[in-house]
Amino acid sequence: MFRLSLSVGALLDLREPATWDALSLAGAPDCFAKIAVCRVVSGFVRETTEAQALLAPSVAFLDDLGRWCLVLFLDKLPPLDQVVTTVRPEGLLSRS
């Protein structure tokens, strides 16, 4: 496993209630358990905003907004060697 540091110019945080309100999302964050909602929201944000990435709540932990997934819109980013600023080895995957 590796730990990456990234530089993204415009990120939208879908864990924030103010973002849910701005996007008129009913039932957030639970609505993100529906794949159709995720597709519509990400497509809308991708096509209508300057956002290059989303911080989305982890659907496995919708009750803990500290857990998240990063969604990068690669077509809106500069070349990845400009986005990935550091790469550090973090350890090996193993069964516990």
pLDDT digits (tens, 9 = 90+) for 57-73: 999 999 999 999 999 99
CA 40, CA 46: separation in Å to the nearest integer? 10
Residue 3, CA distances (Å) to 23, 29, 78, 79, 89 in order = 31, 27, 20, 19, 6
pLDDT interval class at 94 (50, 70, 90): confident
Residue pair 6/86 in contact (Cβ under 8 Å)? The answer is no
* Dihedral angle over CA of 35, 75, 82, 16, nearest 10: -40
* H/E stretch holding 47: helix 35-48
Task: Tell me the pLDDT tens digit for each residue of 74-92.
Answer: 999 999 999 999 999 999 9
pLDDT of residue 23: 95
**Mean pLDDT to the nearest integer, 19-42:** 95
pTM over the 0.75 mark? yes
pLDDT of residue 69: 94
For the chain, give every domain's residue range. Answer: 11-77
